[in-house]
Amino acid sequence: MAKKIKKALKKLKKQQRRYEAAMAAGGTPIGGGMGANAARGQGLLGGLSGLLPSRRSEQFLVGLLVGAAAAYVLSDEELRGKIVKSGLKLYGNLAGGLAEMKEQMADLQAELEAEQAGAL
């Protein structure tokens, strides 16, 4: 059991050294996140291709389902109203949160200016 733990720790330390070396070089570690996809020329959303079906018949069925869902949502007035109300509530909450954050930043800036004026 102790040998397995030592081996696992050794492997972890080796991975950590490789990660630190890659980060120090200003790159991204191999096999990690979106940076690896961008490095292979796939762009920011290149990893999404694995989620989508590859055969034409599968793509058609997915498109058919998405289209049917969109048609249902757009034709149902009550559901459309609920979606619009939810969107407006979300927008209001985001706008309120942004306004609160601006106010806090203004307060912090005023405190810093007061400290600097008092120190002079």
DSSP letter for each residue of 24-75: HTTS--TT-HHHHHHHTT--TTGGGGGTS--SHHHHHHHHHHHHHHHHHHHH
34 pLDDT band, cuts 50/70/90, is very low
Please compute the mean of the pLDDT values over residues 91-97 and round it to a whole number: 95
Per-residue pLDDT of 3-27, as tens digits, reads 777 777 778 788 888 878 777 776 6
3-state secondary structure of 6: helix
State residue 27's pLDDT score: 61
> Are 39 and 28 within 8 A, CB to CB?
yes
Which pTM does this prediction carry?
0.41
